[in-house]
Structure 1
Amino acid sequence: MTLTLQASRFTHDHLFLGPAHDENARRTLWVVALTFVMMIGEIAAGYITGSMALLADGFHMATHAVALGIAAAAYSFARRHANNSRFSFGTGKVGDLAAFASAMVLGLVSIGIAGESILRLFQPITVAFTEATVIAAVGLVVNVVSALLLAGNHGDNGHDHHNHNHGHHHHDNNLRSAYVHVLADALTSVLAIVALLAGRYLGWVWLDPVIGVVGALVIAKWAYGLMRDSAAVLLDTTDEHVAAEIRELLESTDDVRISDLHVWQVGPQARAAIVSVVATASVSTDAIRERLAPVHELSHLTVEYRNA
């Protein structure tokens, strides 16, 4: 057998997209369309009725339309370039890059809403409560429908899966970013409805901008969490759960010791690892790989071997 044929036996692809990648992409596109239509209606109604809560919801939804568009584009880009050799470990982390960008947008939105709400607190304007409440209620319905669309596979990517007595977190941060944007929209819609009803029936006009500030703080917290988690993936932080499983499987006997270990995420449910071991002559690299076979997250494994 020639050297070329021997080498071909060990070649493999770097397709590390999540198993629900295409389905999540379709769901996200539907949500983009719904969000865009509602965005136009809420911004127009907010200006007409004079409601800060409703206008904030509309502009918030506008930025979400952009962010959701980024999420949809990320799914498309990742699929188109999944087999492009220019990407050393595939395009499984494109969604995390999109999620980080969306989190930044979400953070800026929260600052804008808080600033405008504080301004309206000191410079109140007349609000058409009845009309604004109706539009906010319609916006909430759209948000709930969008959340249900995204929740179809959100749970598959956002809950814990268990293997070898360790908890592992499998997040499609791109889908999560879309889901968080929709939840933020739903929150601002609910808060807008509460503020508008209180203004109409209790005369609490001040509640409209106050609730705008409260909503901004909650959205900022969500943005921070999403930015923190997606940044961790982009910076190749160690997946401690998988690393602990690798150590347990390899060092459970006295014939192998790990001298260096790198484990990082290359896709929503895929991890890469470089394992450097010092082992006795009776242990081969194939034996090392066999021991690590139960670690189902490992999609790309490199073993560096030294005899003890």
Structure 2
Amino acid sequence: MNTSHTSHLHDHVFLGASHDENAKRTLWVVALTVVMMVGEIAAGYLTGSMALLADGFHMATHAGALGIAAAAYAYARRHASSARYSFGTGKVGDLGGFASALVLGLVAIGIGIESLMRLFEPTQVDFGTATLIAIAGLLVNIVSALLLSGSHDHHPHEHGHDHGHSHHGHDNNLRSAYVHVLADAVTSILAIIALLAGRYLGWVWLDPAMGIVGALVIARWAWTLIRDTSGVLLDRTDDHVADEIREILEASGGAKITDLHVWRVGPQARAAIVSVLGDASITADTIRERLAPVHEVTHLTVEYRSV
């Protein structure tokens, strides 16, 4: 068997091209969220407003999730060249995104339960104060979304050129931060609509009803993020790249794939192990040359055996 690996000098640094820029953007959003959170909690204690306190502690859960994203960026950068990680730290962001998605799911459950309770047992609402809080929160979320929108990696339902769920080039860590900000913005918008309707139309029931709608929307985003990040963490096969490898080798002839593994090791990086059975005239280097156009694969191992 002729086995060819990438050079042992390969650095295994598979961080995304915008890693450092995204890390800075996330830190700014964390700072904004923490300032808003501290301000709301302090104002809540000073004014005795439960609405302010509740929104402040809700903001704290998002600050925690965004903090996870920031920590993931820092850890991935710090250990990018560590020999302790066989394929680098390119997937740390997906781990952070997965943890963040779990927090988002818990937030959705909490909002849903609280909304259901208020639907059946309405509570007194200070519509004026609550509306101002919601507007302030929305403004913070708009600024945060603008800070995170410099990359195309964050959209909840965006797909790469593979038209599937492998998200070529997508930074799931930044995406998780963006989804948290977006979720907060949606709840703020729904709250403003409901509070205005309650204040001017007397529709008190609309506030908890909108809360349930918001919880369902957030739960859906959380599930999508959990599905995509868990697939990366479990080394799900990248079908698009695998199909491309098969097509190239089958079209060139003289070689048959007996085993193929393709998985994501970073936002823009894929690793592949290709086992091939073929003619004596073909070598592992020949296979490597044929697969050179598959630009997504940055770590290639070829196992070749002649007939």
**TM-score in terms of structure 1 length:** 0.90
CA contact (8 A) 1:261 1:276 kept: yes
2:217 maps to 1:218: yes
Give the equivalent residue in structure 2 for 1:266: 265
Q: Any idea what the Cα deviations from partners look like across 1:31-83, whole Å, max 9, x if unmatched?
A: 001111222344566784454xx766543322110000000000000000001
**Whole-Å Cα distance in 2 between the matches of residues 9 and 221 of structure 1?**
43
Superposed, which structure 2 residues align to 1:180-195 within 5 Å? Answer: 180-195=179-194
Give the equivalent residue in structure 2 for 1:35: 33
Give the equivalent residue in structure 2 for 1:3: none
The AA in structure 1 aligned to 2:59 is M
Q: What secondary structure, in the 3-state scheme, does the structure 2 residue paired with 1:152 have?
A: coil
The AA in structure 2 aligned to 1:300 is H
Q: CA deviation at 1:131?
A: 1.7
The AA in structure 2 aligned to 1:255 is G
Q: What secondary structure, in the 3-state scheme, does the structure 2 residue paired with 1:169 have?
A: coil
- Unaligned residue ranges in structure 1 (runs of 5+): 1-6
CA contact (8 A) 1:42 1:136 kept: no
Give the equivalent residue in structure 1 for 2:77: 79
**Whole-Å Cα distance in 1 between the matches of residues 219 and 155 of structure 2?**
23
CA contact (8 A) 1:265 1:271 kept: yes
CA contact (8 A) 1:154 1:176 kept: no
CA 1:108–1:162 in structure 2 vs 1: closer, same or farther (change >3 Å)?
closer
Give the equivalent residue in structure 2 for 1:149: 147
Give the equivalent residue in structure 2 for 1:15: 13
Q: Any idea what the Cα deviations from partners look like across 1:132-172, whole Å, max 9, x if unmatched?
A: 11121111011011011111013489855559xxx963211
Give the equivalent residue in structure 2 for 1:172: 171
Give the equivalent residue in structure 1 for 2:285: 286
CA contact (8 A) 1:46 1:132 kept: no
CA 1:157–1:243 in structure 2 vs 1: closer, same or farther (change >3 Å)?
farther
The AA in structure 2 aligned to 1:112 is G
The AA in structure 2 aligned to 1:84 is S
Superposed, which structure 2 residues align to 1:1-308 within 5 Å? Answer: 10-43=8-41, 48-51=48-51, 57-155=55-153, 162=161, 169-308=168-307
CA 1:58–1:218 in structure 2 vs 1: closer, same or farther (change >3 Å)?
farther
- Unaligned residue ranges in structure 2 (runs of 5+): none
CA 1:111–1:56 in structure 2 vs 1: closer, same or farther (change >3 Å)?
farther
**Whole-Å Cα distance in 2 between the matches of residues 294 and 117 of structure 1?**
53
The AA in structure 2 aligned to 1:92 is G
**Whole-Å Cα distance in 1 between the matches of residues 43 and 210 of structure 2?**
19
Q: Any idea what the Cα deviations from partners look like across 1:72-124, whole Å, max 9, x if unmatched?
A: 00000000000110101000000111111111111111111111111122222
**Whole-Å Cα distance in 2 between the matches of residues 55 and 161 of structure 1?**
41
Q: Any idea what the Cα deviations from partners look like across 1:183-219, whole Å, max 9, x if unmatched?
A: 0010011011111101110011111111111111111
Q: More displaced, 41-50 or 27-36?
A: 41-50
**Whole-Å Cα distance in 1 between the matches of residues 50 and 185 of structure 2?**
20
The AA in structure 2 aligned to 1:138 is A
Identity of aligned residues (%): 70
**Whole-Å Cα distance in 1 between the matches of residues 233 and 276 of structure 2?**
26
CA 1:9–1:268 in structure 2 vs 1: closer, same or farther (change >3 Å)?
closer
How many correspondences in the alignment? 297
Give the equivalent residue in structure 2 for 1:4: none
CA 1:14–1:25 in structure 2 vs 1: closer, same or farther (change >3 Å)?
same
CA 1:125–1:59 in structure 2 vs 1: closer, same or farther (change >3 Å)?
same
